[in-house]
Amino acid sequence: MISEDVIQKVKEENDIVDVISESVKLKKSGRNYMGLCPFHHEKTPSFSVSRDKQIYKCFGCGEAGNVFTFIMKYKNLSFPEAVKLLADRVNIDIDFDKGSSHRKNTFQKLYKLNTSAARYFFNCLKKSESARNYLSNRGITENTIRRFGLGYSVDSWNHMLNFLKNEGFTELDMVSAGLIIKSQKGNYYDRFRNRIIFPVFNSRGKVIGFGGRVLDNSKPKYLNSPETSLFKKGTNLYGLNFALKGNFSRVLIIVEGYMDCISLHQCGI
Ligand code: ZN
């Protein structure tokens, strides 16, 4: 948490005209500054910035806000990230992690584990002819497999578990990441078995969970990681990291499934 006082101070020190001028060429026009809107395509300036009010507004597309919303939208950042960036810009030191370094370490460990698991699944796909055939039959190219980091989970109860244990992770880590399940008898086993694996990225492109699809008609067709401290289903959207990249048209197409999303990207949409 960043305190309201600090947020206010960061805002005051970062004049909106100066900040936006670093990205958009502005020209003084009366009391305001005008420029070409960075959020829609235009040839005559309709993007207005007010130093008095410390806000911007585009009369073409309607985008409007303050210095924080500008940075969030322009750089695809979350609110805390935008505050941090602007604080750094004026040398204000904000310590996010006061008293929460333990939590931060846990997160970092989970990210590391997810990355290792994704790499493991990706390598298993390389070795599985049936899984590769399944994807090529569905028209998925090698390039797409690499771009989306698609993988395969071996038809085994503990192949992944043993692999990740050798990498130095504990069962507890793997349970926290939702990768393994503890049986009633107290044994651990792999959650994903004999499935095509879709790593789920957050909007910053980090692996936070996995989706697994069967190769045949068995049930359930799709299996996802459970909610974990990284994987929050209500606030994440698969493929958002790719859709945000360089998307200044601010048009998004939302589809239902992993394969729908991947297929559209493969077609350049
Ligand atoms: Zn605009």
Question: pLDDT tens digits, residue range 174-232?
Answer: 999 999 999 999 999 999 999 999 999 988 889 999 999 999 888 899 999 999 988 98
CA 249 to ligand 1 center in whole angstroms: 10
pLDDT-based confidence at residue 92 (cuts at 50, 70, 90): confident
Contacts of 13-16 with CB under 8 Å at 24 or more apart are 13/86, 13/90, 13/92, 14/67, 14/86, 14/89, 14/90, 15/51, 15/54, 15/67, 16/49, 16/50, 16/51, 16/54, 16/55, 16/56, 16/66, 16/67, 16/70
Among 67-81, 90-104, 232-246, the least confident range: 90-104
Compute and round to an integer the Cα radius of gyration of the chain: 23
pLDDT, one tens digit per residue, over 107-121 is 889 999 999 999 999
pLDDT-based confidence at residue 49 (cuts at 50, 70, 90): very high
Q: What is the mean pLDDT of residues 16-40?
A: 95
Within a 10 A sphere around the Cβ of 70, how many other Cβ atoms?
25
pLDDT-based confidence at residue 96 (cuts at 50, 70, 90): low
CA 69 to ligand 1 center in whole angstroms: 14
Give the 3-state secondary structure of 125-166. HHHCHHHHHHHHHCCCCHHHHHHCCCEEECCCCCHHHHHHHH
Residue 98 has pLDDT above 70, yes or no: no
CA 33 to ligand 1 center in whole angstroms: 14
Residue 61 is predicted with a pLDDT of 95
CA 8 to ligand 1 center in whole angstroms: 26
Residue 246 is predicted with a pLDDT of 66
Structure pTM? 0.66
Residue 235 has pLDDT above 90, yes or no: no
CA 37 to ligand 1 center in whole angstroms: 5
Is the Cβ–Cβ distance between 225 and 210 less than 8 Å?
A: yes
CA 53 to ligand 1 center in whole angstroms: 19
CA 251 to ligand 1 center in whole angstroms: 13
Residue 86 has pLDDT above 90, yes or no: yes
Residue 102, class by beta-carbon neighbours within 10 Å (0-12 exposed, 13-18 middle, 19+ buried)? exposed
Ligand 1 being an ion, which residues bring their Cβ within 5 A of it? 37, 39-40, 58, 60-61
Element spanning 206, H or E: none
Q: Regarding predicted confidence, which is higher, 5 or 103?
A: 5
Residue 247 has pLDDT above 80, yes or no: no
Is the Cβ–Cβ distance between 225 and 219 less than 8 Å?
A: no
